[in-house]
Amino acid sequence: MSNPSILILPGDGIGPEVMAEVRKVIDWYGAKRDLAFDVSEDLVGGAAYDKHGVPLADETMAKAQEVDAVLLGAVGGPKYDVLDFSVKPERGLLRLRKEMDLFANLRPAQCFDALADFSSLKKDVVAGLDIMIVRELTSGVYFGEPRGIFEEGNERVGINTQRYTESEIERAARAAFELAMKRNKKLCSMEKANVMESGILWREVVTRVGEEYPEVELSHMYADNGAMQLVRAPKQFDVIVTDNLFGDILSDCAAMLTGSLGMLPSASLGAPMANGRPKAMYEPVHGSAPDIAGQGKANPIACILSFAMALRYSFDQGDEATRLETAIEKVLADGVRTADLMGPEGGTPVSTSEMGDKIIEALDASL
């Protein structure tokens, strides 16, 4: 059987720097765990624009459709701010999400003990936190028609439309229930069924899908209360499923409970391919950080944790994903810190590549 395939799209700014550290980890799995991947690399974002005049070439899009997983660094930068909207770096990312039909966005919020002081909340509220938000990514108010700014009488009106079909809700719900089955079998669905018809339908469909998962304890919460509860007592949650708009806000809120942007991974999953693996793209939550690009200051952990998600969700290697997460936890517990993680208690300052090397050392020690 051929090796599983990965397409790496490092992108712009710190993207290539953090991705170089992911390459070390991928190579380690090939050398030490007999887990080899066929890795290819291509351009996205500003880097693709510089070469092709578009933020994602058709050939790159075609490759992304064929591989088992796409790993993306980050796109964008001040140099490209003047470009027309249609060729801005971010359009490359949106094209990947749209054409791969990546409808379920998985955003973990996990607090590493060594970084619990970084949260703006009290340590005991966040220590040990491990929740997963599943955000519907391809429908809802960001895509619904009609949309636009129209003349109405003697003033203008801005319109966006929240629209969800039953099948769109169903596939997002199913992804969330499947995840809950692999975790603590607890799922909370968030909408605003009190004021939105789309919320009423959302609740109905999630409840119906839930009948297929009797082991999962399903609860429903209005999204505004959900926001309060996430800040008040986040550990009450395991998996949360919600729509595109609420998910956008709630996942950022939950992520920040845990501290630095340099620590946050994500996965975007679509329908299963012929080999049973879901269409998938993994990427850190952060952007291209032009303010620190090229200085060896970027924290590569968000990108490495995104690869850990690929091990778990695309390659069925949950134990190896845990090995990688544990190695990262060990490095942090040892006080190894990129600049963004340097708090008042100090630590051993390291560059991007030194952080990667420390994680490899911890992986070696895990054998």
Q: 202 or 307, CB closer to ligand NAD?
A: 307
- Comparison of 243 and 283: residue with beta carbon closer to ligand NAD: 283
**Residue number with CB closer to ligand NAD (107 or 192):** 107
- Least Å from the CB of residue 43 to ligand NAD: 14
Is 289 assigned to a binding site? yes
Q: Which of 248, 282, 313, 330 is catalytic?
A: 248
Active site residue 252: yes
Rounded to a whole number of angstroms, the minimum distance from the CB of residue 293 to ligand NAD is 8
Q: Which amino acid is at 255?
A: A
The residue type at 38: D
Shortest Å distance, C-beta 284 to ligand NAD: 6
Q: Which of 113, 117, 224, 364 is catalytic?
A: 224
Say how far apart CA 17 and CA 226 lie, in whole Å.
Answer: 36
Please, what is the minimum distance in Å from the beta carbon of residue 187 to ligand NAD?
A: 27
CB atoms within 10 A of CB 123: 12
287 is in an annotated binding site: yes
248 appears as a binding residue in the annotation: yes
357 noted as active-site residue? no
In the complex, which residues of this chain contact ligand NAD (CB under 6 A)? 14, 18, 74-77, 90, 93, 261-262, 283, 286-292, 298-299, 302, 340
Taking the least distance from each CB to ligand NAD, the nearer of 77 and 140 is 77
Nearer Cβ to ligand NAD (221/269): 269
Active-site residue identified among 29, 49, 164, 192: 192
Query: Going by DSSP bridges, is the β-strand pair 130-136/239-242 parallel, antiparallel, or unpaired?
Result: parallel
Structure tokens at 316: 């069925």
Does the annotation count 248 as an active-site position? yes
Min dist CB 340 to ligand NAD, Å, is 4
135 is in an annotated binding site: yes
Q: Is 123 a catalytic residue?
A: no
142 is catalytic: yes
Determine whether the annotation assigns residue 357 to a binding site.
no
My answer on whether omega of the bond before 146 falls inside 30° of 0, hence cis, is: yes
Is 185 within any annotated ligand binding site? no
Catalytic residue positions, numbered: 142, 192, 224, 248, 252
Binding site residues, as ranges? 77-90, 97, 107, 135, 224, 248, 252, 287-299
